[in-house]
Structure 1
Amino acid sequence: MSSQAERAAAASAAAQAHSTLRLTRGISATWWYVAVAVGLFEAMVVLFAMSALGEGGSSDVAVAVVGIVGLLWWAATLVPLADYRHRTEAAPLLVWRRHLVPLVIGAAYGLTAGVATGTWLLAVLPLTQVVMLLNWPPGVRFRVVLAATALLVGLAVVDINSTLGMDSGPSWYQLIFFAVALPVMSVSSLWWWDVLVTLDRARASEAKLAATQERLRLATDVHDLQGHHLQVIALQLELAERLMPGDPGAGMEQLRAARASVDDARQGTRDLATRFRSVPLRDELANAVDLLRAGGMRAEAAVDPDASLAPAAALGPVIRETTTNVLRHGGGRWACLSLALSDGSWRYEISNDLAADVPESTGGSGLEGVARRAAEAGGDLGVRRERDTFTVVVTVPAGETVPAGETVPAGEVDLG
Structure 2
Amino acid sequence: MSTSPVQAADTETAAQRRGRLRLSRGITATWWYTVSAVVFLEFMLVAVWTGALAGAGRSTAAIAAVGLGGLVWWVSTFLLMRDYRQRTEHEQFVPRPLVLVSLLIAACFGLIAGLVSGLWLLGVVPLIQTSMFLNWPSGVRLRVVIAATALLVVLWFIDGRLVVPPGAGSAWWLSGFFSVSLPSMTVLTLWWWDVLITVDRARASESRLAATQERLRVATDVHDLQGHHLQVIALQLELAERLMTNDPDAAFTQLQAARRSVDAARQGTRDLALRFRSVPLPDEVANAADLLRAAGTSVKVTVDADADQAPASVLGPVIRETTTNALRHGGGRWARLSLTRDADAWRYEIENDAAEALPSADGAGLEGIARRVEDGGGTVETRRGGQEFAVVVRVPVSPEGSR
Cα deviation code 1:169-204 (max 9, x no counterpart):
454344234322311221012112111211221122
Shift in alpha-carbon separation, 1:10–1:106, aligned structure 2, 3 A? closer
Deviation at 1:267, TM superposition (A): 0.7
Alpha-carbon contact 2:92-2:137 (below 8 Å) kept:
no
Cα deviation code 1:285-344 (max 9, x no counterpart):
233234445666433323344444443322210101222343455557432101234546
Distance 1:356 1:110 in 2: 57
Distance 2:183 2:230 in 1: 69
Query: One-letter code of the match for 1:323?
Result: T
State TM-score, norm by structure 2.
Answer: 0.81
Cα deviation code 1:132-183 (max 9, x no counterpart):
2222234232233234334434544554565445753454344234322311
1:114-193 mapped onto 2 (5 Å cutoff): 114-157=114-157, 159-160=159-160, 163-164=163-164, 167-169=167-169, 171-193=171-193
Shift in alpha-carbon separation, 1:100–1:297, aligned structure 2, 3 A? closer
**Corresponding residue for residue 3 of structure 2:** none
**Corresponding residue for residue 212 of structure 1:** 212
**Corresponding residue for residue 239 of structure 1:** 239
Cα deviation code 1:341-362 (max 9, x no counterpart):
4546543221223357659x99
Query: One-letter code of the match for 1:136?
Result: W
Deviation at 1:127, TM superposition (A): 2.1
Cα deviation code 1:228-259 (max 9, x no counterpart):
11111122222222223333222222222111
Deviation at 1:387, TM superposition (A): 6.1
**Corresponding residue for residue 303 of structure 2:** 303
Distance 1:96 1:382 in 2: 60
Distance 2:22 2:356 in 1: 31
Once the two structures are overlaid, the 10-residue window that deviates more, 383-392 or 220-229, is 383-392
Shift in alpha-carbon separation, 1:332–1:83, aligned structure 2, 3 A? closer
Deviation at 1:105, TM superposition (A): 4.3
- Count of residue correspondences: 391
Deviation at 1:29, TM superposition (A): 4.4
Query: One-letter code of the match for 1:27?
Result: I
Deviation at 1:379, TM superposition (A): 4.3
Shift in alpha-carbon separation, 1:212–1:121, aligned structure 2, 3 A? same
Query: One-letter code of the match for 2:259?
Result: R
Cα deviation code 1:23-72 (max 9, x no counterpart):
44543443343234323322222232222222222111111222333344
Shift in alpha-carbon separation, 1:88–1:231, aligned structure 2, 3 A? same
Distance 2:172 2:341 in 1: 70
**Corresponding residue for residue 227 of structure 2:** 227
Shift in alpha-carbon separation, 1:266–1:84, aligned structure 2, 3 A? same
**Corresponding residue for residue 364 of structure 1:** 363
**Corresponding residue for residue 202 of structure 2:** 202
Q: Percent identity?
A: 59
Shift in alpha-carbon separation, 1:99–1:365, aligned structure 2, 3 A? closer
Shift in alpha-carbon separation, 1:100–1:256, aligned structure 2, 3 A? closer
Distance 1:130 1:358 in 2: 54
Distance 1:109 1:339 in 2: 65
Cα deviation code 1:66-88 (max 9, x no counterpart):
23333443345555544322333
Distance 2:290 2:257 in 1: 49
Large movers: runs of 4+ above 6 Å: 9-16
Distance 1:19 1:203 in 2: 18
SS of 2:245 mapped into structure 1: coil
Alpha-carbon contact 1:297-1:334 (below 8 Å) kept:
yes
Query: One-letter code of the match for 1:63?
Result: I
Once the two structures are overlaid, the 10-residue window that deviates more, 198-207 or 139-148, is 139-148
Distance 2:85 2:181 in 1: 22
RMSD: 3.6
**Corresponding residue for residue 38 of structure 2:** 38
Alpha-carbon contact 1:12-1:287 (below 8 Å) kept:
no
> Do structure 1's residue 251 and structure 2's residue 243 form an aligned pair?
no
Once the two structures are overlaid, the 10-residue window that deviates more, 313-322 or 112-121, is 112-121
Distance 1:250 1:333 in 2: 69
SS of 1:176 mapped into structure 2: helix
**Corresponding residue for residue 411 of structure 1:** none
5+ residue gaps, structure 1, are 1-8, 401-416
SS of 1:395 mapped into structure 2: strand
1:224-373 mapped onto 2 (5 Å cutoff): 224-293=224-293, 297-328=297-328, 330-331=330-331, 333-341=333-341, 343=343, 345-355=345-355, 364-373=363-372
5+ residue gaps, structure 2, are 1-8
**Corresponding residue for residue 6 of structure 2:** none
Shift in alpha-carbon separation, 1:183–1:393, aligned structure 2, 3 A? same
Once the two structures are overlaid, the 10-residue window that deviates more, 202-211 or 115-124, is 115-124
Alpha-carbon contact 1:329-1:362 (below 8 Å) kept:
no
Distance 2:80 2:70 in 1: 17
Shift in alpha-carbon separation, 1:384–1:74, aligned structure 2, 3 A? closer
SS of 1:136 mapped into structure 2: coil
**Corresponding residue for residue 394 of structure 1:** 393
Deviation at 1:388, TM superposition (A): 4.5
